[in-house]
Structure formats: structure tokens, C-alpha cells
Amino acid sequence: MKVLVTGASGFVGQNLSIRLSRESDIAVLPFDIDNTHTELIDALSKADAIIHLAGINRPLNPSEFMTGNLGLTSAIADELEKMKRPLPIIFSSSIQAEQDNEYGKSKRAAEERLKTYAEKTGAAVRIFRFANIFGKWCRPNYNSAVATFCYNIAHDLPISIRDPQAPLRLLYIDDAVEAILRELWAQKTGFAYCQAEPVYATSVGEVAGMIQSIHDSRKKAVVGDFSDAFYKKLNTTYLSYLDVPDLETTPELKSDERGWLFELIKSDCAGQIFVSTTKPGKKRGNHYHDTKVEKFCLIKGRARISMRKVNGTEHYAFDVDDKIIRIVDIPPGYTHSLENTGTEDCIVLFWANEIMNPAHSDTYRLEV
């Protein structure tokens, strides 16, 4: 299938084109502002379907709304009617089409032209009145609050908010792309409106606060609740606005005669992960926890993990090495230790079900 994608160089167009490129039976015919009308006609003569994303939302002159949004849509419909090619069209409209502003009027007029095209030719037309789409590669300081907040906060630039309570309805880019693909593959007839979900109802101030929190927490190796789908998508989006050199952070390395240790990830809802080295013959631990539990995973070298119930005498030992990767759970009420029994530094990955709090560490010294 050959799919003409208008606005292919834009935010949605880039993400959609890359997604389509993974389909072995789809060839993308890209069209954008730099292409000519002749090239448009050529693409229309070859295409099997059209995904119409191109449009104008921030013109210098309000009259350009109609020229950019209705004009190109009419040109496509006019040419297809002349060619007698009733190609299916998926059109990216906007929730602004419900409003009485110049942008909304132009989008609504484009919808009406496509409705006439569907009625006249029998072609299938699907309209998405998209909410505000956010995600990687959206242009900051243009027409997306999320993109602007992500970019400015990532670069320690100020943000301006006139009304923190102003409502925002947000749609994640990958959800928008998958909704478009579902309609592309669907057996469809006639003219109809479609929904892309989920749409997240929030406010300008709430989103700005979440992005600032993501920015601040990253420096402390803290991550939020990724079971919250909106937070997860916002976190992903923020990361895409960092400059490549800023993707690297340097954790605090705690070193002593045993080796070094650093915290990799900390989460209020999922605990923390930390990594350590232990020198040959050296031992870590010899303590227990009342409630805290841990997992030990040796990934390099050789070691013995020992444990004993705090009010018992029976000792247990796990001899581990990097030939067979194993994970050992440390239950509460068991004093435990890890001793390097090899000839080189061993590396161990640890997980604890809570973030270490020096004031309430739930860690008590006791020899195994």
C-alpha cells in the first residue's frame, strides 16, 4: 500500500512516518510545504490512501488559516475528483473545530470539504478532532505548552503561565499514531468522526509542576510512579528535550576499604536499586532489617551470601558467581552478609523495597 502523508516533516508526520516505515507492506509518499503542486498531483496519482496532517496553526496573518487548512484540503479533494480516484482519507483536524475562532473555522471548513468529497465520490473519510498532542519532537515555544515547558525547564529557562487553572486536554503522540493506523487498516465506508484515546484532562499549572518535578528528581536519581500512564508519557517526553550531553549524570560514589557503592534509581513506590563493588576477601552487611527486604544479584566475580535468623543459630549460605546469574531474596528478620570469595572485585546489583532514610534506616548491626 502506498500512503501519501501530508505534513510529513511535522511533529505528527515524523512520528507517523517512522511508525509506517516498520510496516513491510507500506510505502510512504511524503509531502510537505517544500513540495510543489505538481508533486502533489503525482503523489495523488500513485497513492492508495491519504493521511492528511498538513495545516497551519500559527500564521502571521489570520487569513492564512483558511489558505493553509482549507486550501490544501480542497486542492487534494479537487484533484482526486478530477482523477476519479476515490481514495480513503484520514484527516487530522482539531478540537478547535468546535470553537468559533479563525483556526477552528478553517479546520471545520476543511472537514466540510472532505464530507462533500465523500458524498460525491463514495470515498471513505475519517476525521480526528485531536486534543493537544504531546511527545517527542514537538516544537517548543510555538503552540504546545508541554513542549515549551519541557524544553525551557530542561534548559533552566523561565516559563510563563498566565492561568495555572486553565484546562488542558492532552493526547500522547504514540496513541495518536496508533489511532491513525487503526483507521488506515480498517474496512471503512462513508464519512465519520473518530476518537483517539486516552485523552488526559489536566491543567496548565499541573503539567508545569509535574515537568519541574521530573527535572528536579532526575538529578537525585528519583523516578516517579510509572504505573501512572500520563506521568510515564510526560517523563518520556521531557527526556527527549534534553541536549545529548545532558543525558549523562554522575552519581555520588561512596567508597571505603571494601570497594564503592552508588544509588542507581530511587522510587517512593518501588524502592531503590544500587550497585557496589567488593574487593577480594572483604565483606559487606552483617546487619538485619525489621521490615525492609532486599534482592542481591551478583553480576561479576564470585561471592558468598550468608544469612541467619536473628533469634536462631542455623546458618545458610549461597555461593554465587557470574557463570549462572542468580537472585537471592533477603527476608526481614535475617541478618545477612556478602563476602567476596574470588580473586577480583565482584560487582553486585541490589534492590531494596524502600529508599534509604538515614533517620529511619531499619538497619541494625548483627554478625551472621
The pLDDT of residue 60 is above 60: no
Burial class (CB within 10 angstroms; exposed 0-12, middle 13-18, buried 19+) of 29: buried
The fold for domain 2-133+162-199 equals: Rossmann fold (3.40.50)
At residue 70, the pLDDT reads 85
Buried b / exposed e along 99-135 (16+ C-beta atoms within 10 A): eeebbbbbbbbbbebbbebbeebebbbbbbbbbbbbb
The pLDDT of residue 66 is above 80: no
Quickly state the pLDDT bin for 55 (edges 50, 70, 90). confident
The pLDDT of residue 169 is above 90: yes
At residue 63, the pLDDT reads 62
- The span from the CA of 143 to the CA of 56, in Å, is 11
Mean pLDDT of 9-23: 96
The pLDDT of residue 64 is above 80: no
At residue 114, the pLDDT reads 97
The pLDDT of residue 102 is above 90: no
- The span from the CA of 281 to the CA of 341, in Å, is 6
Q: For the chain, give the mean pLDDT.
A: 95
Residue percentage of the chain with pLDDT more than 90:
90
- The span from the CA of 183 to the CA of 25, in Å, is 16
The pLDDT of residue 3 is above 80: yes
Residue percentage of the chain with pLDDT more than 70:
97
- The count of other CB atoms within 10 Å of the CB of residue 253 is 9
Mean pLDDT of 225-233: 96
For residue 131 the three cell numbers come to 486534543
Q: Would you name the residues annotated as active-site residues?
A: 103
- The span from the CA of 227 to the CA of 247, in Å, is 23
Quickly state the pLDDT bin for 186 (edges 50, 70, 90). very high
At residue 96, the pLDDT reads 84
At residue 289, the pLDDT reads 98
At residue 54, the pLDDT reads 85
Mean pLDDT of 230-249: 97
- The span from the CA of 194 to the CA of 347, in Å, is 53
- The span from the CA of 250 to the CA of 115, in Å, is 56
Rg (CA), the chain: 29
Mean pLDDT of 317-330: 98
* Alpha helices in the chain, H assignment, sequence order: 11-21, 37-46, 64-65, 72-83, 102-121, 145-154, 173-185, 204-218, 229-239
Cα-flanking dihedrals φ and ψ of residue 109, to 5°?
A: -65, -40
The pLDDT of residue 101 is above 90: no
Query: Looking at residue 177, what DSSP letter applies?
Result: H
The pLDDT of residue 337 is above 90: yes
> What angle, rounded to 10 degrees, do the helices at 145-154 and 204-218 form?
30
The pLDDT of residue 287 is above 60: yes
At residue 62, the pLDDT reads 64
Residue found by looking up cell 478553517 in the block: 106
Greater confidence, 187 or 159?
Answer: 159
At residue 305, the pLDDT reads 98
At residue 98, the pLDDT reads 87
Return the domain boundaries, the chain.
Answer: 2-133+162-199, 254-365
The fold for domain 254-365 equals: Jelly Rolls (2.60.120)
